[in-house]
């Protein structure tokens, strides 16, 4: 997992990502979420980031599922919702995502924090 410092996108990249994401490409949806989360190539917008993480997560992308859990746990662009956070962490953990399993355990143990950098991101391709 990498933070925003490792992510770069230009407005042209974002235009291509929007087109691919709109066609249902889960990787593009994830990368577009990362662009909005980091404010790279677009103005930072936590609500848009959450929306695109959700679209990728619904297609089974485990990194997006973990990040959507973080979004709900921290209330980034959505109302904080520990139950939804746990659901998304559980989905990713069931598929072997170790960080999601740790985040799920943290929430179930009553901890208020989950692991992840300021903008939860994995490697992105543009």
Greatest distance between any 2 Cα atoms in the chain: 44
pLDDT digits (tens, 9 = 90+) for 18-76: 999 999 999 999 999 999 998 989 999 999 999 999 999 999 999 999 999 999 998 99
pTM: 0.85
Question: What is the reported pLDDT for 3?
Answer: 61
Question: What is the reported pLDDT for 124?
Answer: 36
Please, are residues 116 and 4 in contact by the beta-carbon 8 Å criterion? Answer: no
Please, are residues 49 and 23 in contact by the beta-carbon 8 Å criterion? Answer: no
pLDDT digits (tens, 9 = 90+) for 72-108: 998 999 999 999 999 999 999 999 999 999 999 998 8
| Measured distance CA(101)–CA(37) in Å, rounded | 22
Domains of the chain and CATH, by start: 4-108 (1.25.40.10)
User: How would you class 113 by CB atoms within 10 Å of its CB: exposed for 0-12, middle for 13-18, buried for 19 or more?
Assistant: exposed
């Amino acid at each position: 997992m990498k933070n925003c410092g490792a992510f770069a996108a230009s407005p042209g990249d974002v235009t291509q990502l929007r087109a691919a994401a709109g066609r249902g490409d889960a990787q593009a949806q994830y990368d577009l979420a990362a662009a909005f989360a980091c404010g790279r190539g677009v103005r930072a917008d936590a609500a848009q980031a959450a929306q695109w993480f959700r679209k990728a997560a619904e297609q089974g992308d485990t990194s997006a599922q973990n990040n959507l859990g973080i979004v709900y746990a921290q209330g980034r662009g959505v109302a904080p919702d520990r139950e939804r956070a746990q659901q998304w962490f559980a989905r990713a953990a069931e598929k072997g995502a170790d960080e999601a399993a740790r985040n799920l355990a943290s929430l179930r143990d009553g901890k208020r924090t989950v692991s992840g950098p300021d903008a939860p991101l994995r490697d992105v391709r543009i």
